[in-house]
Structure 1
């Protein structure tokens, strides 16, 4: 049984929100009121209750009673009302803002194929892997970010208070300043007089990014820039490929046709190079080409992936291969996150040390001249 996802109209909510916009918002780190961590717990508990023999409505009611936040309880109360009114579970989820298109179509396919329990289990595993990836990334970048913020605060403090103090001493004693000292003092004066420009630029950048983040040209150039950053670009690419293999593994496990799986995955992934590649792969499959043959054309995928998928197609082991690919990429992401952290930390420390040392040396060179004059 196949489902032509692209023929489904992009419905809008009664309150004017677009489904695709909500999908993109959900993927963002701070974008969703019902986080991926909560979704992992929800699908895990729901799967356990369904396996224990409870009816779907009763299982959702039990989960609703466990919610501590009023907003979360309201979500499940709305789902229960939809179920009581005769709606399918997929439709009930579809009417809630916090659930994505991806979840809606996955559950819908599970209902139509009689594999709802399997889909719920795979959604639980999907969000578990996604949360594991996020924790790995946060763990890798948290210390370097703390160092970077410390460096910024230290530099701002020195430029705002320490350098002007030295500059006043040099001015009062008419000390001839070396080139590097004069440049540091000029930079300090500029920062003190025009610090608001930096704040304005930062604010405008944030607002502009929010306005254009859904534009194709922005996705194209921002992703191209990210991929060119040493270490970071390859790390991001691996994360997006892992999301792709996780999604396909889930859908194949739910007996979803390959073409429908590709179409569904496009709705989840907003990374332009991968999204664009999936659109072309979809066109190739419609023309009768194999998945391995189509993937081999795109540099965003690893060569080993096309080789393994070719073997899977020949042996009819697509589900097993994609599960192994997911495990491999998750392990590689964990390794690369540790490597990225180990590279960024010393670079940040060296940067902070170099800047602070430059400022101190620039201030102390005239001090030696000053001590000579006073002596």
Structure 2
């Protein structure tokens, strides 16, 4: 029997699916005090304590005592207080910004089906995989970003201080400058005059992005642009698909009907192409199509994924198949992240090396003329 998701959503007054920007951010983030790693430990240890026979209240009391930060202790104490006052676990967290709608619905279903212990275990696995994904992504991007920022600062330093110093020397000695040197000096002069405007422009872009991020048209066009990028587009798609399979694994493991699992996750990934595809998949299922038949019509889903889901439809092994898909996608994400890192690093170094070399050549070409004038 399917759950009445509309009734559950009505109980969730303040939080909504549209509050979640990204599964790698708000969905798996506890905000300022409760980090992703703490969330992983929280649910894993909660499962262990519940499996050992402790009541939910006693388990949360023990978890609260283990917290090192006062904010975390206060947070869990607040949940315990609400439990004592007669609230369910899901009701106790629904007004807390540290917990997402995903957790609220998962725990709510766990309470309704008597599988709260299983849900806690799956949430622990869920966030463990999320943290692994995030580490993989950061590992792939950290070195190129450091190199890019360092080189960018070096270029700015040269434009701000080195080029003007050479410009004064050339001006004093009335040396005729090559074309490339003139252009570099123009760039240096523009940077000196408008660096404040440049910084304001960058800040304006960041603010505008935050304002537009929930707009449907913005999500549509930015996602289409990113998908077309070599390597990066495919990487992002696989990350989002892996997040979807992880969510379905958790919900089907908690005995949630597959259709309800799709309804719960389609608004939570924060990725427009996947959200639209899942909405169409949901409609197809309601019209009598199987899951694999519907998914096969949309390019965002791999043929390999559709084939395995066909097996799940025929054997009724959704949990096993989606768990296997999640593991495969995580392995592919790790491989692709290493490939992206290995590809981007030399490319960035090459581009920045060309820029720095161009500036140096532009400065040293007039030096030969200058040495002739002096001699």
- TM-score relative to the length of structure 1: 0.95
CA distance in 2, matches of 1:89, 1:51: 17
SS in 1 for 2:21: helix
Deviates more, 1:84-93 or 1:337-346: 84-93
- 2:321 maps to 321
CA distance in 2, matches of 1:27, 1:317: 28
CA drift of 1:267 comes to 3.4
SS in 1 for 2:96: coil
CA distance in 1, matches of 2:82, 2:309: 40
Cα contact 1:11–1:18 (8 A) shared by 2: no
Aligned: 1:330 with 2:310: no
Question: Alignment partner for residue 28 of structure 1, among 16, 25, 28?
Answer: 25
SS in 2 for 1:327: helix
- 1:72 maps to 72
Cα contact 2:8–2:105 (8 A) shared by 1: no
SS in 1 for 2:300: coil
Number of equivalent positions: 372
- 1:92 maps to 92
Cα contact 2:212–2:218 (8 A) shared by 1: yes
Change (3 A) 1:60 1:253: same
Deviations 1:27-49 (A, max 9, x none): 42778232221110100110010
Change (3 A) 1:308 1:125: same
CA distance in 1, matches of 2:12, 2:94: 11
- 1:286 maps to 286
Deviates more, 1:239-248 or 1:299-308: 299-308
CA distance in 1, matches of 2:44, 2:93: 16
- 1:189 maps to 189
Root mean square deviation of aligned Cα: 1.6
- 1:198 maps to 198
Cα contact 1:25–1:31 (8 A) shared by 2: no
Cα contact 2:23–2:269 (8 A) shared by 1: no
- 2:156 maps to 156
CA drift of 1:225 comes to 1.3
CA distance in 2, matches of 1:26, 1:63: 25
- 2:123 maps to 123
- 2:264 maps to 264
CA distance in 2, matches of 1:11, 1:185: 63
Change (3 A) 1:7 1:272: farther
CA drift of 1:9 comes to 4.1
Cα contact 2:50–2:59 (8 A) shared by 1: yes
CA distance in 2, matches of 1:38, 1:104: 17
Q: Identify unmatched segments of 5+ residues in structure 1.
A: none
CA drift of 1:21 comes to 5.2
Deviations 1:187-243 (A, max 9, x none): 100000111121011110111111111111111111111111111111111100000
CA distance in 1, matches of 2:223, 2:233: 9
Instruction: Describe how 1:1-375 pairs up with structure 2 within 5 A.
Output: 1-6=1-6, 8-9=8-9, 18-20=15-17, 22-24=19-21, 27-28=24-25, 32-33=31-32, 34-375=34-375
Change (3 A) 1:305 1:51: same
CA drift of 1:23 comes to 3.3
CA distance in 2, matches of 1:31, 1:205: 26
Cα contact 2:22–2:270 (8 A) shared by 1: no
Cα contact 1:244–1:265 (8 A) shared by 2: yes
CA drift of 1:4 comes to 3.0
Deviates more, 1:328-337 or 1:108-117: 108-117
CA distance in 2, matches of 1:194, 1:257: 59
Deviations 1:83-136 (A, max 9, x none): 111111111121322111111111111111121111110000000000000011
SS in 2 for 1:268: coil
Cα contact 1:43–1:120 (8 A) shared by 2: yes
Deviations 1:130-175 (A, max 9, x none): 0000011111111100000011101000000111111111111111
CA distance in 2, matches of 1:179, 1:300: 49
